[in-house]
Amino acid sequence: MKTIVVDMMGSDHGTAATIEGIKLFLKRNDDVKLILVGNPEELAPLQAVGEIVASSEIVPMEAGAMEVIRMKKSSMLVAINTMIERNADAIVSAGSTGGFLSAATLKLKLIEGVERAALMSPFPTAIRGKKAVVLDIGANNENNPTQIVQFAKMGSIFAKKIYGLELPKVFLLSNGSEEKKGSPELKEAHQLLKAEAYPGFMGNVEAREALNGVADVIVSGGFAGNIFLKGCEGIFVLMNNLIKTAFKRNIFTKIGYLLSKGGFDDLKTSLNYKTYGGAMLLGVNGVVVKAHGSSDGFSFSYALEVALKMARADVVNLIKEGLNDASGQ
Amino acid sequence: MKTIVVDMMGSDHGTAATIEGIKLFLKRNDDVKLILVGNPEELAPLQAVGEIVASSEIVPMEAGAMEVIRMKKSSMLVAINTMIERNADAIVSAGSTGGFLSAATLKLKLIEGVERAALMSPFPTAIRGKKAVVLDIGANNENNPTQIVQFAKMGSIFAKKIYGLELPKVFLLSNGSEEKKGSPELKEAHQLLKAEAYPGFMGNVEAREALNGVADVIVSGGFAGNIFLKGCEGIFVLMNNLIKTAFKRNIFTKIGYLLSKGGFDDLKTSLNYKTYGGAMLLGVNGVVVKAHGSSDGFSFSYALEVALKMARADVVNLIKEGLNDASGQ
């Protein structure tokens, strides 16, 4: 049975969201042990379904690693320490991204041979129901070619095991599809992957084409990856607002909305990041899932889902082996 | 009177688009001299409105600078050379981006003191009718802090003179709004702009917030800027397709479309890149405007419009002075 430690206090919506998330998750899953960290009074309704570990502080949303490490009574740090002490398989938090990732990396430590951990998020693509994973979306500010190659391999292992793809198509996110395009470190990463004929490596993809449904794994240094993720989110929000305005224009457009609502609900569902379960930190000794800070119960339950899937698929050990195999050791 | 040299052959749609563009442009503007480079037979209908310079070749869409320089009879190279020989104020081409930018930079040369030219494009923002300019969107693969600072200043000068803003708000595109966020070169650029208290410099902006209407000038190294531009375009296309699908779902959604069409035509207009006039190369001795390869007449006419505005505002000399002033020389 897999054990998941959950920081119950990190969400913007407090325990209302995380408690509902736990309940939804348990409706879909059994055979899993939950260790729930947070305010025991608030978590009392969950006594029957998981072990409750008390914490008395909450890490602020903008906290960095050092602040988390100093807040010894915070739900986030207690959760990380509990994971280590109890040898749990996974941890989920909706708290401060930077703080959680850095503290988890510091405490859990990098997998042997991994130079840098990477934050990965699933993205919707032009093909209905098909996701692509993008990494690193911001765990790092700069990366060298070896690190980028490791990101490619970790992403490929994830896509293979969690999405069940036989041979995930791996692309480097670049400013052109040609081999010679890219930042200096990306160009070198390209040559390294090509030289070892890494299975599924397809070359470069432009940001415009990245989500057209061909790529399964889209690899970038953390800085450009973050710009890609946030740029996409920004346009998504911008267009959603414009769609709302378009429908509100006059009485005809309002009736138009009522008639076409079905289609647009569909559109919303297919782009709904809430079913993506947040982002995963790859490269550390343990499954680390960062739920969105603004997670509701539904969204938080999917973060737990991804954590359980990754624990069951033994993604951490697969990365350990995969990186060593592929590098010929 | 300003003189604009036009490469009439570079568009994907051939002279049909560029000839229509010239006609539309001339309906809105007079007091401008046009030198039209291309196949004299195709351009015959324009004899009355501009001087025609013959060329017999067309640069392929994927051509690089060296290929352009070698194609001495190409409309693109003849246009660039004509601009220099005739001391014209501006050049417009819809041909190969890489080839045009590099060849124009090589031939026209960088403005004294400018380390690298930058490609800049206007973007729509969340505020109706308000544009922001983003640079560099891909003239460079890597940039140092000094170059990024120069991009900020060139963008600011453009926004001031062409959009008529008193004090454009300038932001660095980063992975967080905090001062310490960013790639190493971006962080240093931030410190340089802060140290000289560059007017209008507002700090960092995340890609998600970049187009919310606050920023007038969004500054990035060419690699990340290209990822931002193309990522935004990709999501725009993806969502447009999803909107189409949503409306095509069934008879009700189809009627809904007919009723709400007015609102969506509005949405399309406000996001229509065709009115943006393509991208501008800043930092070279002359106004260089790159129209979209897929420009139609309407879109091409706006590229000419931007070129004329930039020539009239004397943007090149303003950049020359602005860079020197602001650096305290």
Closest-CA residue to A247 (of A233, A260, A263, A266): A260
Instruction: Give helix A222-248 / helix B222-248 axis angle, nearest 10°.
Output: 40
Instruction: For residue B51, give the 3-state DSSP assignment.
Output: strand
Query: Does B272 lie at the interface with A, CB-CB under 8 angstroms?
Result: no
> Which of A184, A207, A266 has the CB atom closest to B234's CB atom?
A207
Six token digits for residue B74:
């190409």
Domain locations in chain A as residue ranges: 1-114+283-314, 115-280
Subunit contact A234:B270, Cβ cutoff 8 A: no
Beta-carbon contacts below 8 Å between A and B: 197
CATH number of the A115-280 domain: 3.40.718.10
Strands, DSSP E only, in A177-298? 201-206, 217-219, 279-282, 287-290
Q: What is the pLDDT of residue A235?
A: 86
Peptide bond into B136 cis (omega under 30): yes
Query: Does B250 lie at the interface with A, CB-CB under 8 angstroms?
Result: yes
Instruction: For residue A12, give the 3-state DSSP assignment.
Output: coil
Query: Is pLDDT of B327 > 70?
Result: no
Instruction: Give helix A145-162 / helix A315-326 axis angle, nearest 10°.
Output: 130
Structural contact between residues A275 and B248, judged by C-beta atoms closer than 8 angstroms = no
Query: Is pLDDT of A325 > 80?
Result: no
Query: Does B263 lie at the interface with A, CB-CB under 8 angstroms?
Result: yes
Subunit contact A230:B175, Cβ cutoff 8 A: yes
DSSP annotation of B111: P
Contacting residues for A251 by C-beta, under 8 A, at least 6 apart: none
For the entire predicted model, the pTM comes to: 0.90
Q: What is the pLDDT of residue A273?
A: 63
Its sign, for the CA torsion A145, A147, A148, A150, is positive
| CATH classification (class only), B1-114+283-315 | alpha beta
Query: Does B44 lie at the interface with A, CB-CB under 8 angstroms?
Result: no
Query: Is pLDDT of A15 > 80?
Result: yes
Q: What is the pLDDT of residue A328?
A: 40
Q: What is the CA radius of gyration of chain A?
A: 20
Cα distances (Å, whole numbers) of residue B159 to A114, A175, A195, A310: 45, 25, 46, 49
Q: What is the pLDDT of residue A327?
A: 45
Q: What is the pLDDT of residues B144-196, one digit of tens each?
A: 999 999 999 999 999 999 999 999 999 999 998 989 899 999 999 999 999 99
Between CA B326 and CA A172 the distance in angstroms is: 38
Peptide bond into A136 cis (omega under 30): yes
Structural contact between residues A53 and A35, judged by C-beta atoms closer than 8 angstroms = yes
Alpha-carbon gap: A125 to the closest alpha carbon of chain B (Å): 8
Instruction: For residue A148, give the 3-state DSSP assignment.
Output: helix
Subunit contact A233:B267, Cβ cutoff 8 A: no
Six token digits for residue A305:
């889902």
Q: Work out the mean pLDDT of chain A and round it to a whole number.
A: 91
Residue B88: φ, ψ to 5°: -75, 165
Q: What's domain A1-114+283-314's architecture? A: 3-Layer(aba) Sandwich (3.40)
Which comes out higher in pLDDT, residue A314 or A295? A314
Contacting residues for B195 by C-beta, under 8 A, at least 6 apart: none
Give A124's contacts in chain B (Cβ within 8 Å). 238
Which comes out higher in pLDDT, residue B66 or B329? B66
Torsion of CA A245, A249, A251, A254, to 10 degrees: -20
Between CA A185 and CA A204 the distance in angstroms is: 13
Structural contact between residues B4 and B88, judged by C-beta atoms closer than 8 angstroms = yes
Query: Is pLDDT of B305 > 80?
Result: yes
Six token digits for residue A52:
């409750």
Closest-CA residue to A176 (of B135, B230, B295, B99): B230
Query: Does B245 lie at the interface with A, CB-CB under 8 angstroms?
Result: yes
| Own/partner pairs, B66-72, CB within 8 angstroms, 24+ separation | B67/B99, B68/B96, B68/B99, B68/B100, B68/B102, B68/B103, B69/B103, B69/B106
Query: Does B268 lie at the interface with A, CB-CB under 8 angstroms?
Result: no
Between CA A14 and CA B126 the distance in angstroms is: 30
Give A241's contacts in chain B (Cβ within 8 Å). 126
Six token digits for residue A187:
């160009």
Cα distances (Å, whole numbers) of residue A209 to A129, B26, B232, B233: 17, 36, 11, 9
Between CA B142 and CA B87 the distance in angstroms is: 32
Segment A46-60 mean pLDDT:
93
Subunit contact A173:B260, Cβ cutoff 8 A: no
Between CA B197 and CA B7 the distance in angstroms is: 41
Query: Is pLDDT of B57 > 70?
Result: yes
Residue B137: φ, ψ to 5°: -100, 15
Residue B328 burial (CB count, 10 A): 6
- Band (pLDDT 50/70/90 cuts) for residue B329 is very low
Query: Does A85 lie at the interface with B, CB-CB under 8 angstroms?
Result: no
- Band (pLDDT 50/70/90 cuts) for residue A274 is low
A118's enclosing H/E stretch is: strand A118-124
- Band (pLDDT 50/70/90 cuts) for residue B241 is confident
Q: Determine the length of chain B.
A: 329
Six token digits for residue A269:
């569902």
Query: Does A87 lie at the interface with B, CB-CB under 8 angstroms?
Result: no
Q: Which amino acid is at B107?
A: K
- Band (pLDDT 50/70/90 cuts) for residue A7 is very high
Six token digits for residue A235:
């346009």
Segment A304-309 mean pLDDT:
95
Strands A170-174 and A217-219: parallel
Q: What is the pLDDT of residue A275?
A: 66
Describe chain A by its helix, strand, coil percentages, rounded to 5.
Answer: 50, 20, 35
Closest-CA residue to B132 (of B169, B167, B92): B169
Q: What is the pLDDT of residue A245?
A: 83
Query: Is pLDDT of A26 > 60?
Result: yes
Structural contact between residues A189 and A104, judged by C-beta atoms closer than 8 angstroms = no
Between CA B122 and CA B135 the distance in angstroms is: 9
Residue A199 burial (CB count, 10 A): 12
Q: Work out the mean pLDDT of chain B and round it to a whole number.
A: 91
Mutate to test the interface with B, among A96, A259, A265, A271 (most CBs of B within 10 A): A259
Six token digits for residue B249:
């779902």
* CB neighbour class for B164 (10 Å; exposed up to 12, middle 13-18, buried from 19): exposed
Q: Which of residues 164-203 of B touch A (CB under 8 A)?
A: 173, 175, 181-184, 186
Alpha-carbon gap: A320 to the closest alpha carbon of chain B (Å): 28
Q: Determine the length of chain A.
A: 329
Six token digits for residue B144:
């140092």
Angle ∠(B198,B219,B301) on CA atoms, nearest 5 = 115
Number of H helices, E strands in chain A: 11, 11
SS (H, E, C) B18-46: HHHHHHHHHHHCCCEEEEEEECHHHHHHH
Give A262's contacts in chain B (Cβ within 8 Å). 249-250, 252-253
Closest-CA residue to B248 (of A267, A247, A250): A267
Between CA B312 and CA B302 the distance in angstroms is: 15
Segment B232-248 mean pLDDT:
84
DSSP annotation of A111: P
Strand partners, B289: B92, B280
Contacting residues for A148 by C-beta, under 8 A, at least 6 apart: A172, A185, A186, A189, A219, A220, A221
* Identical topology for domains A1-114+283-314 and A115-280: yes
Query: Does A118 lie at the interface with B, CB-CB under 8 angstroms?
Result: no
Q: What is the pLDDT of residues A148-192, one digit of tens each?
A: 999 999 999 999 999 999 999 999 999 989 898 999 999 999 999
Segment B1-28 mean pLDDT:
94
